[in-house]
Structure 1
């Protein structure tokens, strides 16, 4: 039973789009009542975060060439500025797999 979900945003170098998405989505998750810790990283460092990560958000283009743990919940992001849309996708996973992480 997890009362907090760990979300990892992944981009090519871990400094640009993943950092922007992290900031935007963090606010949207809080507004949706989802207790989440959010981090960002480069695609090459993603594996080192696998023990911590519950949900991976990654651009559709990067996801095509990446490998994920078998039990990973992966969201392929088309628009990194769509904080509410990404948060809604995370919310669906939370409701199904981590319902204790929703505060309302």
Structure 2
């Protein structure tokens, strides 16, 4: 499979999504997953080509409603353990 493209999404695509992006990059590096992680705002998230979307619990419903890819909702963007617990299974399914 080609390298995964992961979208980290917040309301405006510049603040908390950058923090989420950095933490996702740490998790995938630790687990040997090759992926590109990019940020986006909630308005463009579902029209941006990607393999999976990581976002906040608050934005999950709006994004999931229109997304054609898996959506992973994260409560605490700086909690690598939560990101790994919720995201690794989804990422591994996409790789296999």
- Cα 1:68–1:98 change in 2 (3 A) is farther
- TM-score between both structures, scaled by the size of structure 1: 0.80
Give the alignment of 1:26-41 within 5 angstroms: 26-41=25-40
Whichever of the two has the greater Rg, that structure is 1
Shift of 1:6: 1.0
| Residue equivalent to 2:57 | 60
Note if contact 2:74-2:82 (Cα within 8 Å) is conserved in structure 1.
no
| SS class of match (2:93) | helix
Question: Structure 2: which 5+ residue stretches go unaligned?
Answer: none
| SS class of match (1:63) | helix
- CA deviation digits over 1:32-80, x for unaligned, max 9? 111111001100111330xx210100101111233333x4111011111
- TM-score between both structures, scaled by the size of structure 2: 0.86
| SS class of match (2:36) | strand
Q: Work out which structure has the larger RCO, using CA pairs closer than 8 Å and 6 or more positions apart in sequence.
A: 1
| Alignment: residue pair count | 95
Q: Which runs of 4+ in 1 moved over 4 A?
A: none
Give the alignment of 1:1-104 within 5 angstroms: 2-49=1-48, 52-66=49-63, 67-69=65-67, 71-99=68-96
Question: Structure 1: which 5+ residue stretches go unaligned?
Answer: 100-104
